Structure 1
Amino acid sequence: MPDEKNYWTQQRPDGKWESKREGADRASKVTDTQAEAWKHSKHRAADTKGEALLKGRDGKIRERNTYGKDPYPPKG
């Protein structure tokens, strides 16, 4: 089940970058650069107290930022 508070940044097949809410059909924002899309995802995730996730070209998560209460805080 998608968590609608989370925002993903990923590259599209056309080479542009998108910021997309988890579970959404369409992108929230499409940009020419990864940096612009990542900035938008972090801003939206902070507003919803969710998580921003950045996918690299290889499809693996490169970076993630959690806003609000982290469900798995590290000990120590």
Structure 2
Amino acid sequence: MAKGKNQHVVPKGDDWAVRGAGNEKVTKIVSTQKEAIKIARDIAINQGSEMFIHGENGQIRERNTYGKDNFPPKG
């Protein structure tokens, strides 16, 4: 399976948006960050990509990888 685009949860005015990496248009705009995270997580799991959650200031506050891990933990 080809790796899909990483998904970003970003603030958009008073709402939250899900945006694929490199896309100018957002995938979806919702009223809560929690709802945006669920949508982005579902897309990232489906595509085997990463999800980045940005805070209200735009800084990345959390990152999750879905799909095959090229560097799994040892032990």
- TM norm structure 1: 0.83
Q: Which runs of 4+ in 1 moved over 4 A?
A: none
Count of residue pairs brought into register by the alignment? 73
- Aligned-CA RMSD value: 1.7
Listed as ranges, the gaps of 5+ residues in structure 1 are: none
- TM norm structure 2: 0.84
In 1, Cα distance between the equivalents of 2:71 and 2:54?
21
Aligned sequence identity (%) = 38
Equivalences for residues 35-74 of structure 1 within 5 A: 35-74=34-73
Listed as ranges, the gaps of 5+ residues in structure 2 are: none
Point out the more displaced range, 35-44 or 63-72. 63-72
